[in-house]
Amino acid sequence: MNLKLQNILSKFEKPNRSYMQTKYLLIIIALLSSLTGLKAQQVISSSKLTIQGRAFPESPAFHRIDTAKYHNLPPAVKNLYTHGAGLFVTFRTNSTQLAIDWETANAALGNNSTAIMSRGFDAYVKEPDGWRFAGVARPNLKEAKSSFTMVENMEKTEKEFLLYFPLYKELRSFQLRIDEDATFSPTVQQHDKKIIVYGSSIVHGASASRPGLAYPAKISRNINADVINMGVSGNARMELAAAQMINDIKDVDLIIMDCVPNCSPQQVTERTFAFVQELRKAHPNTPILLMESIIRQIGNYNLEWKKKRYEQNANFKTEYERLLAAGYKNLFYLPADHLIGDDYEGTVDGTHPTDVGFERMIKIIQPEIEKILQQ
């Protein structure tokens, strides 16, 4: 018998136990019996894992960049780069369950996002035909600290897991819990290409239902590319400091500029040429794909939004043509036509794609990426 249980029982081993003593004894026995039925677990510290999906391996904590190093970035941009969008870890284990304990900066949620996307995790398992969804970690809605069993009752065979970080929060800490007798080994993915996606909240991940369904993450799995999510919700305004930060990223095969939604029509005109010009200082031959803003369905009846979106894209196309005329090569342009479909059902709020909207975007963006990379 468990020593702790023996010690407790010994206190009640008197022939004249009172009714209340007997009652408490029965309650304790029931509680301890239920606890002994729980599986023992081993805890895996996050320090044993390699954080992947970020531009700079030396970035502190679970941040996408070292915000102290890039001090010229606007404060809001630096704060957003503490979010874990696009970051992930991979590992092998034969555990029959996978649980996680974690803490985010706070428990607040956006009004157009799911809690799982913003503050949770999702897990995938590698199969011969690619990564297959396995489970999610649902966050505590009131506290910054959360615990959740992502998947359980699995076969005791070794599997490779991919675990995506929360998209819209700074992750402060996490640890995994697996079977006590399970094997565990961290892994690092080998990708065919490296792609940088600089953009707005749509790149950041709003409003996917879970982290792995943001379009950079899904394209990464589809084509085995290291797709670096440099989305900064509401703040992708083509500042030169952002281009200079991107210039420090090495061995880039493609840069995607999906930043028009956050720029005013005037900013598009004033900043596009200079932004590309700055990128060319460190990436003279790297292909750059310039993407128009999606057609915001909020502009179906709001004439101001409709006018703004039209001017943003028209000005972007003009700047693209100016760049070509100035002799810049390896520039590609993707119009917004049909990006989220034509039935007006691709967004959660008239701007940010749902999973359906993202899937429609991927069907247009991914072939363009593959075509560029083949060239």
Which residues are within 8 A (CB) of 91 and not within 5 positions of it... i.e. 6 or more apart?
A: 44, 49, 160, 161, 163, 176, 184, 185, 186, 187
Mean pLDDT of the 320-326 span: 98
**CATH code where residue 103 lies:** 2.60.120.260
Domain shared by 272 and 328, yes or no? yes
Q: Which of 166, 187, 208 is the last residue of a domain?
A: 187
What is the arithmetic mean of pLDDT over 226-247?
A: 98
Average pLDDT over residues 336-364: 95
Q: What pLDDT score does 20 carry?
A: 57
Q: Is the dihedral of CA 242, 247, 252, 256 positive or negative?
A: positive
Close Cβ partners of 289 (under 8 Å, ≥ 6 residues apart): 254, 255, 256, 257, 332, 333, 334, 368, 369, 372
Whether residue 218 is found in the same domain as residue 354: yes
At 268, which CATH number? 3.40.50.1110
pTM of the predicted model as reported, rounded to 2 decimal places: 0.90
CB 323 within 8 A of CB 367: no
**CB-based contacts of 53, cutoff 8 Å, min separation 6:** 86, 87, 88, 220, 226, 227, 228, 229
Residue 250: partners with Cβ closer than 8 Å, 6 or more residues away: none
Flag whether 79 is in a domain. no
Last residue of a domain, one of 187, 202, 235: 187
Query: Is residue 218 situated within a structural domain?
Result: yes
Q: What is the pLDDT, as a whole number, of residue 232?
A: 98
Q: Quick one: tokens of 193?
A: 């290409």
Q: Is the pLDDT of residue 363 over 70?
A: yes
Give the model's pLDDT for residue 317. 98
Q: Does one domain contain both 117 and 198?
A: no
Do 333 and 212 sit in the same domain of this protein? yes
Please report which confidence band the pLDDT of residue 36 belongs to, taking 50, 70 and 90 as the band edges. very low
Domain-embedded: residue 235: yes
Domain assignment of residue 67, yes or no? yes
Q: Are residues 131 and 215 in the same domain?
A: no
Are 172 and 232 members of one domain?
A: no
Cα distances (Å, whole numbers) of residue 70 to 38, 55, 62, 78: 48, 13, 16, 8
Which residue, 114, 112, 109, 110, is CA-closest to 348?
Answer: 112
Residue range 235-246: mean pLDDT, rounded: 98
Domain span at 29: 3-36
Place of tokens 């995607």: 256
Please return the burial class of 116, using the count of CB atoms within 10 Å of its CB with bins 0-12, 13-18 and 19+. Answer: buried
Mean pLDDT of the chain: 92
Q: Which two tokens stand for residue 10?
A: 């010994």
Per-residue pLDDT at 40: 87
Domain check: are 202 and 114 in the same one? Answer: no
Q: Is residue 78 a part of any domain in this protein? A: no
Range in 18-27, 187-196, 356-365 the model is least confident about:
18-27
Report the alpha-carbon distance of residue 331 to residue 339 in Å, rounded: 20
Same domain, 128 and 20: no
Residue of 42, 4, 30 whose CA lies nearest to 176: 42
* Last-in-domain residue among 156, 187, 218: 187
Strand order in the sheet with 184-187: 130-137, 121-127, 159-164, 88-93, 184-187
Domain count, the chain: 3
C-alpha 125/C-alpha 163 separation (Å) is: 9
Check whether residue 163 and residue 222 sit in a common domain: no
Predicted confidence (pLDDT) per residue in 195-232, tens digit: 999 999 999 999 999 999 999 999 999 999 999 999 99
* Cis before 207? omega within 30: yes
Amino acid at 61: A
Instruction: Compare 15 and 271 and report the one with higher pLDDT.
Output: 271
Q: What does the pLDDT read at residue 49?
A: 98
The confidence score (pLDDT) of residue 4 equals 42
Do 93 and 210 belong to one domain?
A: no
Is 160 contained in some domain? yes
* Dihedral in degrees, nearest 10, Cα atoms 125, 127, 133, 137: 0
Residue 76 lies in a domain: no
Query: Model confidence over 268-306: pLDDT tens digits?
Result: 999 999 999 999 999 999 999 999 999 888 999 999 999
Is residue 300 domain-shared with residue 368, that is, in the same domain? yes
Q: Which of 4-18, 39-53, 245-259, 339-353 has the lowest mean pLDDT?
A: 4-18
Examine the pLDDT at 362 and tell me if it is beyond 50: yes
Two tokens, residue 119: 């503050």
For 166-205, the pLDDT digits (tens) are 999 999 999 999 999 999 999 999 999 999 999 999 999 9
Checking if the pLDDT of 37 tops 60, the result is: no
246 and 182 in one domain? Answer: no
Query: What local confidence, expressed as pLDDT, does residue 32 receive?
Result: 47
pLDDT (tens digit, 9 = 90+) per residue, 105-162? 999 999 999 999 999 999 999 999 999 999 999 999 999 999 999 999 999 999 999 9
Average pLDDT, stretch 349-365? 97
Question: What is the SS3 assignment for 97?
Answer: coil
The tally of CA atoms less than 13 A away on the side-chain side of residue 313 is 16
Per-residue confidence (pLDDT) for residue 295, from 0 to 100: 87
In a domain, residue 347? The reply is yes
